[in-house]
Amino acid sequence: MKGYNYLKINVCDSVCTLTISAPKSLNALNSNILKEMDDFLTNLDEGVRALIITGDGEKSFVAGADISEMQSLNAEEGERFGAFGARVFRKIEVLPIPVIAAVNGFALGGGCELALACDIRIASTNAKFGQPEVGLGIIPGFSGTYRLTKIVGMGYAKEMIYTGRAIKADEALRIGLVNAVYEPERLMDKAAELALRILRNAPIAVRYAKECINEEYDLPAEEAIAFESRMFGKCFDTKDQKAGMTAFLTKQEAHFTNE
């Protein structure tokens, strides 16, 4: 597997764990890290069926984007930097496999936006989420105003973004920003457990379900329902559908082949 300077990669049982590792800067995102993430996502092995993203150490998931790099940017350069980060995060959002954010410690600014791009977020009890950009004279630049609103609703999103206030894991759970909260020492085991639970199901069906959820979110109801019906029909062209239903009717365990 290709080596990176700022990413640690481990694959076990078709689950890939991507660890962002720049501990001196609390894993803050700079152009080099974003380029490595872009390359990793572009070349992700086809045998990987679930991805877990986390940060190196218990202090920080990702503390934000690298302020020292952004400080001297002009408007054109700032737009380019934001657009690149947004493209990388969009790649995460549309990956044809489920992506779990295992959030340990700070998930601020770009770190919160990275978590938002994942399908499912779980957090340790010491996690903190926030979009503090307005205190730096900027706004969220990696699609934070878009995704945070969709996930927690306009009221909570506006409060978090306008005030720049960081929230703790228990509040993040209450407003629906994360799915579950665990003690730090249990976080990665729980992320792996969740990934393996997903892997027990038909991979094509999981992929189609993700595509439906992503594509239908902004569609009018009739178009969304029609899209789901088409994807539902496509499932019946797969060997996995035959295997799953046969196993159910014969009271046996299904063995899926991703076909």
Residues in the chain: 259
Q: How many other C-beta atoms lie within 10 A of the C-beta of residue 228?
A: 18
Structure tokens at 146: 């878009």
Residues designated catalytic: 113, 133
Dmax (CA) for the chain in angstroms is 66
CA distance 49 to 197: 12
